[in-house]
């Protein structure tokens, strides 16, 4: 009869047994695994107490619509690992290599023939709203 695992020795088997002993005996979680316990669900009338750092609140940034955010996110998904600045041709090749959908390829093809500094620069060239700075 083989004891424990053949990937490590008896000492490691004993240590792992000790670490899980509370769960096995008690049938519940241990203090060491507090992070695994699900949070209690809020009732519908309770307000969220979650706070976000300034400038990181969820929602649509000032100067953009939800559609602008969605389109820009879709573009960024397919052009994410681009080395900036980059040309229209490089952006188009990247999108094609990534297997971007026709909608994204059409937007990249509609860009003017010039170099772009970042996604905001691409968004402006396409007439997509860009977030207004709060500096």
Beta-bridged to residue 86, according to DSSP, are 116
pLDDT for 61 beyond 80: no
pLDDT in tens, 35-51: 666 666 666 666 656 66
Give the whole-angstrom CA distance, residue 31 versus residue 121.
Answer: 50
Q: How far is CA 49 from the centre of its chain?
A: 23
**Interval 79-108: pLDDT, tens:** 878 888 999 999 999 999 999 999 999 999
Per-residue pLDDT reduced to its tens digit, 8-40: 778 888 888 887 777 677 665 555 556 666 666
DSSP H helical ranges for the chain = 10-26, 66-79, 88-98, 102-109, 119-126
Report yes or no: 111 and 122 within 8 Å, Cβ to Cβ. yes
Residue 110: pLDDT above 90?
Answer: yes
């Amino acid at each position: 009869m083989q004891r424990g695992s053949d990937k490590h020795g008896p000492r490691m088997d004993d240590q792992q047994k000790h670490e899980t002993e509370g769960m096995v005996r008690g049938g519940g979680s241990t203090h060491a695994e507090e992070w695994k316990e699900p949070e209690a669900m809020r009732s519908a009338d309770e307000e969220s107490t979650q706070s976000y750092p300034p400038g990181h609140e969820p929602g649509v940034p000032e100067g953009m619509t939800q559609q602008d955010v969605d389109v820009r996110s879709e573009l960024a998904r397919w052009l994410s690992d681009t080395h900036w600045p980059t040309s229209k041709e490089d952006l188009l090749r990247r999108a094609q290599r990534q297997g971007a959908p026709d909608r994204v390829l059409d937007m990249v093809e509609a860009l003017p023939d010039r170099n772009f500094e970042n996604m905001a620069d691409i968004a402006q060239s396409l007439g997509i709203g860009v977030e207004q700075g709060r500096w």
